[in-house]
Amino acid sequence: MQLIDGKSLAEVTRSRIARETQDLITKHDIVPGLAVILVGDDPASQAYVKMKARACKEVGFYSIVHEMPDTISEEEIIGTIKMMNDNPRIDGILVQLPLPKHIDTDAILEVIDPSKDVDGFHPCNVGRLATNLDAFAPCTPLGVMRMFEHYDIPLRGKDVCVVGASNIVGKPMAALLLNAEATVTVTHIYTRDLARHTRAADIVIVGTGVPGLIKADMVKEGAIVIDIGINRLDDGRLVGDVDFDMVAPRCSYITPVPGGVGPMTIAMLMENTLKAAKMRIVR
């Protein structure tokens, strides 16, 4: 069994992005810029935004956070996004989710200029990803694909089971895998006999937010298991959606939680923002 070390890979990725950023500044006087909208005072969202701001500073990006009260109107958020769409210093726009219940998340995300949609949630980028055209892919699934590349894990023809069908993780993960010519099964909350699907897979990718959902008897010997879930238990421990201690001995590769997919998500946000900044060169 080999651990897939997302933390180390993310560090290498950020170092590369920092070098490319300095090159972009030197040759083209372009400093990549990322703007984040944070609505409300959810502690988890605030923590994520702080990590993103630190990552921007580390790689040499310009970044700004628009903090808004959870009572703000949908129109005010849209107005801020439109302002950032028109700001030539801003290459990437990110709306930290979830938003308050009175805000229509889909309406907010559709306002973002697709060329600045570094989260990959705009319908334009979703459609381009599904048809295997160049697009901004959501950061977590993109990070998983970078892990496969780094560890030389082939995907063509492999049976892959994606557990969870969210718009943020499961669906774009399936699209990226299909583009890599894997055979993909997507399961969700209404799937009957989940274990039948996971046991048949060469690769199991899980992102449900259910601690310990995947047990040892649900994966075959030698399987590759990617655990996207991150859950905080009552005792303060962070765990994934996989029963790691029991499942790991059966795997050829497995991601830990923490230290697996999580660090790659922010690294891919930096990569997408750099990609958006490079688009300024040809404008």
Residue 245, CB-side half-sphere exposure with 13 Å CA sphere: 2
Which residue in the list 117, 119, 202, 227 is annotated as catalytic?
119
145 and 184 Cβ atoms separated by less than 8 Å = no
| Nearest Cα to Cα of residue 92 among 280, 283, 274 | 274
> Which residue has 């774009």 as its token pair?
172
Q: Are 270 and 56 in contact (CB under 8 A)?
A: yes
Residue 52 annotated among the catalytic residues of the structure: yes
Catalytically annotated residue among 91, 96, 171, 202: 96
Which of the residues 52, 116, 158, 171 is marked catalytic? 52
Q: Is-contact 16 73, C-beta < 8 A?
A: no
Q: How far apart are the C-alpha atoms of 132 and 179, rounded to whole Å?
A: 6
Cα 78 to Cα 74, 84, 110: the distances in Å are 6, 10, 10
CB 229 within 8 A of CB 242: yes
| Helix 139-150 and helix 261-278, axial crossing angle in degrees, nearest 10 | 100
Structure tokens at 126: 């979703």
Helices marked H in the chain: 6-28, 43-59, 74-85, 105-111, 123-130, 139-150, 170-179, 194-199, 244-247, 261-278
* Contact indicator for 135, 117 with CB cutoff of 8 Å: no
> Could you write out the DSSP letters of every residue in 53-110?
HHHHHHHT-EEEEEEE-TT--HHHHHHHHHHHHT-TT--EEEEPSPPPTTS-HHHHHH
Specify whether 119 is catalytic: yes
* Residues with catalytic roles: 52, 96, 119
